[in-house]
Chain A
Amino acid sequence: MHLVNKLSSSGSSRPFPVPSREPSSVEKIVEIDEHIGCAMSGLIADACTLVEHARVETQNHRFSYGEPMTVESTTQALCDLALRFGEGDEESMANTDFLLNNCASRLWFPLVCCGLRKGMGVSRPFGVSLLIAGHDENGPSLYYMDPSGTFWQCGAKAIGSGSEGADSSLQEQYGKDLTLQETETIPLSILKQVMEEKVTPNNVDIAKVSPNYHLYSPSEAEAVIARL
């Protein structure tokens, strides 16, 4: 699983091809809001929880303030979630109080002590890194988030198993003044270097945010691959 992301477009590859696996069921680039997309690497199920949270936060923001949420604020909202393992939340504390008062205390007490009293917080960190790409009033931006809940703003970034090699290639090739065409071909060519199998429209995903999120169809991906 390799992901390469540049300001305004990102490419990701699907895991080792297994003949029985349906390629289109592997979704590693998803939309968070009209103007924000996200690429994930690691435990995909954990990533889906984070993406769902981001979607809710961005829509809440639109409801409350009638405006799109900035990319940085969205990333911050995700990072806030990442730190909540270990101790319980205030919300789950309210639930445990109800249980304490209403259930046979003798039976529930041991459970309450070790599990519920602490609150039903998350028990482990989210095992996933995310690349959050979007376009807001400050222009296009890219943020990288790791399981610790720290985030960085980047111009270009790679995550996943081939990320070290990909990152150094990006360092050489990235510039602030690249055209849209270049931001399509550069990540894809780097992906080609680190991937073991040949790049085809069925085993890579390409998406861009300019200014709205758009996941390339197989034919559009085909066109970019042809330019490599």
Chain B
Amino acid sequence: MTKQQANWSPYDFNGGTCVAVAGADYCVIAADTRMSTGYNILTRDYSKICKLADKSLLASSGFQADVRALQKNLEARHQIYQHQHNKQMSCPAMAQLLSNTLYYKRFFPYYAFNVLGGLDNEGKGCVFTYDAVGSYEKVGYSSQGSGSKLIMPFLDNQLKSPSPLLLPAQDAVTPLSELEAIDLVKTAFASATERDIYTGDKLEIVVLNREGIRREYMELRKD
């Protein structure tokens, strides 16, 4: 008689793709709104983007229960920070906090693939990309999730960031205008939707700039 193995996993995979692009004075964060499990769709209208602070937005794909727990954790930490320091957290500070929060659960990770986007203290766009355990890097653009292997090479081709190893440190933000960047993101998602079964339904785009936050939607293929 063979030993009984546990056939229960604490994790599930809800699919989806997230993208963020940093500009000189704006940041575009986008994610699709499809939530799946296996070959089924749970809902066509689920937001993966969360506003953590005035100038920081988090887009996460992976296991949405863990994503939600992570968002709540960070929101609570931000409240405490505001009480203690009498100011909002800057995007680089939130980036460090997210990294530490993820590594804290190094041996039972948040199954969340994150892209943090926002404006830094000078008003320049910044994007931080993470793995599941908190390793992060400041970049000019990034994508995470099921469609990232389709989108990332396309962004590399269009936005070609200078190597972060070059000295003196080169600016990673894209010279594109805000409207051009949004158009690029829409194109990227439309392409990813064609071949990735977990990406589709609707695209949520959030734009952060000097004037504030703006949200827009675009329909994607529903198959």
Do A and B interact with each other, yes or no?
A: yes
Report B174 CB to chain A, min CB distance, Å: 23
Contact, CB under 8 Å: A67 / B100: no
CA distance A73 to B97 in the complex (A): 18
Q: Does A193 contact B (CB under 8 A)?
A: no
B residues in contact (CB < 8 Å) with A: 81, 84-86, 89-90, 92-93, 95-97, 100, 121
B93, A66: Cβ atoms closer than 8 Å: yes
Q: A residues within 8 Å of B by Cβ?
A: 63-67, 70, 72-73, 76, 137
A6 to B92, CA, bound (A): 32
Is the CB–CB distance between A63 and B100 below 8 Å? yes
Q: Are B84's CB and A65's CB within 8 A?
A: no
Residue of A66, A70, A72, A73 touching B96 (CB-CB under 8 A): A66
Complex CA distance for A67 and B94, rounded to whole angstroms: 10
Is B85 touching A66 in the complex (CB atoms < 8 A)? Answer: no
Residues of B within 8 A of A73 (CB): 84-85
15 sampled A-B residue pairs with Cβ under 8 A? A63-B96, A63-B100, A64-B96, A65-B89, A65-B93, A65-B96, A65-B97, A66-B92, A66-B96, A67-B92, A67-B93, A70-B85, A72-B86, A73-B85, A137-B121
Among residues of B, the one whose C-beta sits closest to the C-beta of A62 is: B96
CA distance A74 to B84 in the complex (A): 10
Residues of B near A63 (CB, < 8 A) are 96, 100
Additional A-B contacts beyond A63-B96, A64-B96, A67-B96 (12; CB < 8 A)? A63-B100, A64-B100, A65-B89, A65-B96, A65-B97, A66-B92, A66-B93, A66-B96, A67-B92, A72-B86, A73-B84, A76-B84
**9 closest Cβ contacts across the A-B interface?**
A66-B96, A65-B93, A73-B85, A67-B93, A65-B96, A66-B92, A64-B100, A66-B93, A65-B97
